[in-house]
Each structure stands twice: as structure tokens, then as C-alpha cells.
Amino acid sequence: MDSKEAIQMALERSHAMVIGLIEGMRDAPLMFPTPNGGCHPMWVLGTLAWNECMFIHEWVEGQPNPLADWERSFGIGSEPVDDADSYPAFDLVLDKAHEVRRHTNELLESLSEEDLDRPSYAPLDRQAHFGTVRECFLMLALKWMMHRGNVADAKRAAAKAS
């Protein structure tokens, strides 16, 4: 298995493990994972889509983030709030997340191992983890897994069966 195949597997599995949990919280998308707040499923879904666009569109392709208008709700420094009016509709965010992932998968499929070694367009302060195209894709899979616990805890807080 080459690294591209490993990254494809990591992206596929991390997405499947998280998106299923999020879809299962459709009726409680603003459920905080703890009594003290935290990252609820709506915010997790939106921030994952927004960050995926940042990693792929901006840092891999050198293009603008197509979800730039979501920055206030889901971007770097945003905080989850218990106000549905602060977010787009859940199904819109879910559809966008799927659309973004299709683009990511298509782009990765088009790249060679050598392409993955190209430098990224990530800012200098992010180069340690996002310095190459390969690292951007790998960190994306890790980002999805990082937020899995937030959604699993929100599901527990909502008293939903495992």
C-alpha cells in the first residue's frame, strides 16, 4: 500500500465513523456534549466542512474557501452556541459536507505520489503539520477523528442508544 492508498483509507474511514454519528443527531444537533458546553454536532459538522475547504481548496489548491461565508459560525476561533439561528439549516450543512468530501476524494484520486510531496499553500505558522499536500490530506483525516469524541459525547448527553 502506498501513502495515497493509506490516506484514502483514512479519509474514508474517519468520515464514515463521524458522519454516521452526526446524522444520528439530526433531531438534536445543538446538544452540547457536557453540562458546561463543548462542541455540539451542528458545530462539529460545519467546522469539519469549513476546515476541509481550508485544507484542500486553500492550502492544497491555492484557491479561496468556498465556505468562507461560514467562517463566523464554523471557522477558526468560532465557538459553538445554542442558537439555531446562528447556523445554516442542518441538512444544508450536511449536504455541503458531502459535496466538499466528494471534491476532496476526486482531487486526491487525481494526484500521484509525487504530487503529494509538493509544498502546500498553508501559512508559515502551519507548515509544521501542513507543509506538503500529503500532510494536508493526512491531517484532514485526523481532524475528523479528533471531533468524533465530541459527537459521541453529545449522543450520550442526549441519552441516545449506542
Average pLDDT over residues 106-110: 98
pTM: 0.96
Helical spans, DSSP H, in the chain:
3-23, 41-53, 71-74, 90-110, 113-116, 127-130, 133-157
Give the total number of structural domains in the chain.
Answer: 1
Instruction: Judge whether 97 lies within some domain.
Output: yes
| Predicted confidence (pLDDT) per residue in 120-141, tens digit | 999 999 999 999 999 999 999 9
Instruction: Judge whether 142 lies within some domain.
Output: yes
Instruction: Judge whether 150 lies within some domain.
Output: yes
Q: What is the largest CA-CA distance in the chain?
A: 47
Instruction: Judge whether 140 lies within some domain.
Output: yes
Q: How far apart are CA 158 and CA 8, in angstroms?
A: 32
Q: How far apart are CA 139 and CA 28, in angstroms?
A: 28
| Predicted confidence (pLDDT) per residue in 35-79, tens digit | 999 999 999 999 999 999 999 999 999 999 999 999 999 999 999
pLDDT at residue 162 is higher than 80? no
Instruction: Judge whether 162 lies within some domain.
Output: no
Instruction: Judge whether 68 lies within some domain.
Output: yes
For residue 24, what pLDDT band results from cuts at 50, 70 and 90? very high
Residue 25 belongs to domain spanning: 3-157
Instruction: Judge whether 151 lies within some domain.
Output: yes
- CA distances (Å), 79 to each of 9, 16, 50, 83, 140, in order? 30, 25, 14, 11, 20
- The residue among 138, 140, 124, 161 whose CA lies nearest residue 3 is 138
> What CATH number is associated with residue 95?
1.20.120.450
Instruction: Judge whether 145 lies within some domain.
Output: yes
